Structure 1
Amino acid sequence: MNAKEPVQAVPESAWFKSSYSSGAGGECVEVANAVGSVHVRDSKNRTGAMLSFDAQQWATFVAFASH
């Protein structure tokens, strides 16, 4: 997670929601790919906090979460 370097604004068009999101639950996140990083935010609070990960950290998380 990137807590030291400022993150440039991510355009709204870059964000996407999981295909598993039904729209009925309260657990949705959105993800945006950027050069060398991946950003994650709460889809219900788009102006709130955003987490940033480098590509390797994100790949490790996705591999872990998919099991």
Structure 2
Amino acid sequence: MKGIVDRFEGDYVVIEVNGETQDVEKVKVASGVTTGDVVELIDGIWTKDVEGTEKRSAEIKKLMDSVWED
């Protein structure tokens, strides 16, 4: 299962999975995960998907560049 980290709230991380948000305890999220990261649930721990995060960042940059084109 994959998701996107939406935000951190106290002892929880809000992760969007299939368009719905889930509150996940911070202890179930790997260290180093930040807002906007693509994460994958592996053995009960949400771990950063480096490739997925880089791909998502590139797609967002491309969209932003097209919006701000002169």
- Which of the two has greater strand per residue? 2
State TM-score, norm by structure 2: 0.34
State TM-score, norm by structure 1: 0.36
- Which of the two has greater helix per residue? 2
The structure number with the bigger radius of gyration is 2
